[in-house]
Structure 1
Amino acid sequence: MPMNVFERIVENLDLMDRFSIRKVSKHLRALTDSLSPGFKLVTIRIYESATTVCYDQNAVAYSNRPRQFFDKIDICFVEIGDERVEIKNATHDQLAAQDLKIVLGNPKLELEELEIERCCFWHSERLVKMIKSIPSPIHVERLTTIVNNPLKELEIIGCLRPRVLKTIHLDMENHSERLEKTEMKSRFDALIATPQCQQVEMMTVVTYLKMEEFPMDSFLLAPRFTLNFEYLSVKDVMNVFRNLSKFAALDHFILKSDQKLNLESIRKQLNQRFSDIPDRPNCMHYWDRKSTFSFEIRFSESEIRVAKQQV
């Protein structure tokens, strides 16, 4: 069969049929793995005894059989649709990482979104190590992940292709243990210094932490970001505005709160340094005479948007 005909056939197959073709021979497996995948979303969920990887809506489930006292090897079950395969001497996260390396390492892959919804603390290191071993940056437009202690997953961002990556969403709400602020800061400092974060359209961090526990200083060099806290006090907001001139690389940022902001008190304190914008009741303007930049601030019940402008 001519190669171009085979490529056209495989490109129109769904995930299950592609897995079937891969089993025919090593030659067909290599050819199939080299072709452009037919999916745009990869979702990864890693639990203590099972891993699920979804390619669009097609799921591949990896699970280990509970070991009995007489078992000498690990047995992993891989389920694709109605098909179930038993593989010996393997663990669920190991097999999932092997398959994901083939998929994510495909130079023709163009993902719209990569989601890491759950990542068991004990297995997150294997996932990160696998992604970092892929020789070329991965084409991903949006990254969504729940990060775990000690924020190891942040290293994944450096493996994604700059300029292609448009949005980053990091959810820190699932931490069971308190994180050390110094450790968080070192991770975020390294993250924000990457080309990916310097060029991304928006990086969002959702956190359960109070602002005084969060490494705000790390974001002084971030050009575009959103920080979503569970609660923001008037003091928290004012501390940010007092240091506004220190945000050297700032383009725009958003402060969000899960609870309503005390806008009346915030505006009352800001009136000492900021001026209202005529005909725009929810906007204020600030210009630091020592700087060539001004800032426009827009308010709503749950968020404050700040945009940097050239004077």
Structure 2
Amino acid sequence: MIHKFLENDTRISEFALLGFSEEPELQPFLFGLFLSMYLITVCGNLLIILAVSSDSHLHTPMYFFLANLSFVDICFTSTTVPKMLVNIQTQKKTITYESCITQMYFFILLAGLDNFLLTVMAYDRFVAICHPLHYTVTMNPQLCSLLLLVSWIMSALHSLLQTLMVLRLSFCREMEIPHFFCELRQMIQLACSDTFLNNMVLYFAALLLAGAPLAGILYSYSKIVSSILGISSAQGKYKAFSTCASHLSVVSLFYCTSLGVYLSSAAPQSSHASAVASVMYTVVTPMLNPFIYSLKNADIKGALSVFFRGKP
């Protein structure tokens, strides 16, 4: 379909990703910074996956979803950072039309998966704390697999819809994207054809696929807080809260950075600010997630200790 589109509109063959700075003296610093962050992200999330898969004690719904979140975070970062590193190293800012569309598709897919997985994990904590006696029966392997499958299907369909909507657009002016990757909103703004329908689909999808999961997370945590406050002992309250503190931290980081990107992109003349803000949820958040989940998690530390040293 992409090939057919290009035949109908031969004016477009590539875009220019402007990135952060064109100053030559800053390029080595940017390359080293983002390479380091990317390697930390990949290694940290791989360690989470390794710990969960190697320790039978971690074969629970919470860690099942955590391992999947780590896998998605690796893929999510890999859709944007490697291409940016290549552009910085080669001093070329171009990306072909096909590569741009492909990057945009996988970026939307994986961002949606992050969103859905955080929602599913909030539901898991809700059942564990508010209905502990029914936890094993409710969060059975079949339900966990179904929730994961539905998350993949909904994210894939949403990403496909947004990508097809972009394919119908015509681009007939200077194709400079003031970003370090092919971001959907920037692509729509560059089009010279009518984008009313694209914007309507974009805002409706954001309201439905971001607003609804956020509402679900807030509802889950309102019930969790009520249950924790109802626990009589301070030790019991601390133990209950500690089981969801890491997830709550990751949720806050993800949604706060995403909101920051939205606000920066909504402001006038803010393309550079939007690109900088996007680094927070495309690079920084996936990098910090393994640290947040493992810093005070004795189970993860114990699993890694057994794997690498052969003793707990």
TM-score normalised to structure 1 length: 0.23
Whose helix fraction is larger, Structure 1's or Structure 2's?
Answer: 2
Instruction: Give the alignment's TM-score, normalised by structure 2.
Output: 0.23
Report 1 or 2 for greater relative contact order, CA contacts < 8 Å, sequence distance ≥ 6. Answer: 2
Structure with greater strand percent: 1
